Structure 1
């Protein structure tokens, strides 16, 4: 079986591209690092194989013929494709290295993700994880590869999956309770020193109706946009505040005030589907799923699990009068 001889050598097209780009035989030779006679000979070979003159040799350089113009258009496309192939190959070589940009709420980043970084950095020494806690709604997705957020993305082009449920319950410190005493009931909390975080306001539409109505009645002693400031204020004994139940695991000195009040907020993981094709991003996504796995960490389950069931944190059970807000 005999095969048909190829119409041209791919390398001849590379030389043709260099010739037209440089505008002369000598310019192409310098660009390619070969002799000018070699450029001329390879051009002759290409024209012979195609069966048409591609350029007209002039004293000041070269000029494309009609056929040469049409072939030059296709060669430019081929050159661009070759560049794309090189970039893909380069990305493949560096697929498990370079930077992954992650956006997450400050409390989640500082009190949970940071505590699990050791395993990730040891397993992926070539990946640089960049964590940002400055969130700007949907605009955050333009600035990161993976976003953890407390609202589902409205972008149809992105994947949004439920990563965990954060159950917010009231916490206080021993110093606070020794100083002011525990609330006598949920209604009495309105008379205590409480704290509020700005992001809670944005999430209020997802709160249970009673919790949202009670929150409207609060006159907080502290309002902040920092989850770290909030939890430190609770630890110091300045205020009572809602904190996610995993706070009992990372700060066991806190005291859970069991007022039969808990607010579940879904934590979403959002990313463009193309990120799953990038090894480093896929590793980060899988790692995040692992450290928020509710089968290992029961406080992230959809169903509420009291802190006393997974932590040695002290719990004060309070069953007094509940406020009677006007529910709308």
Structure 2
């Protein structure tokens, strides 16, 4: 069970955690360890999520995806936060959060439609309570706050979780979203996955604040600093924030192991030693070590989860290896409920050129 702590506008100086990097439990943490069945599910979903991520990366190299932003190393943030959601809550993800989408139950083929170059939104947002994957930085923060505020006005018990990166905190939309969330006391959780870089720009060139979480005080929004590679802690703080009924800013310290996308050369702005240091803090290995030490995870269960992850990867390959014929005319569908004059003219011009 997650304990109820006194909510503070200021985050702790050190990130909250429940598990050390070697999997040993933190004995003096103010957070309560999630139940064993939750921990096992967190482990299972992270193993599947990582296998999905590596498969999507491979498919990009094979030309089956136009681009893929890997989230390897950030699985604790995505899986921990999504599993903390209640069934009626909403998720507002970014382009790097495909693992979060499949964890929420979105079909992997539909999840990757955007990155394949097909429809911008390949899934039904109302079926899964997942907003469109946001490519422009921070615009989903305003969507989440508006949605959460509207839900409260309508008397609905619905909260919103919005995922964003450290680079998105430099955008004006994030300022506006946090400001409105604080004023309206909107039930929205901002989870900043601080992986150290906005593509190649390090955090030190983005802000002089001691932490990104410290910015919450300026908006009257309670803030939390958490170890983003500790899936138990991420789950605990997000669940606590959702249960609060108001806004929360969470900064999760994590790291992107792979390049920004397949078009990025990460060796130009970070060293191999830096990457190796973060590999030593791997979120999947951490929960694995903890569960193994407690006798909750044995070789048989590990093999079972690994086999399930392989089956999931095979299903992704099968969905992505199908060649589709696209009609260029569909570019103009679903842009407006009623097509504008300019849109009709452009569609007609394209049809004439194709003819």
Computing the radius of gyration over CA atoms, which structure comes out larger, 1 or 2? 1
**Larger RCO (CA within 8 A; separation ≥ 6):** 2
Please say whether Structure 1 and Structure 2 have the same fold, judged by a TM-score greater than 0.5.
no
Pick the structure with more strand per residue. 1
- TM-score per shorter chain, which class? under 0.3
TM-score, structure 1 as length reference: 0.22
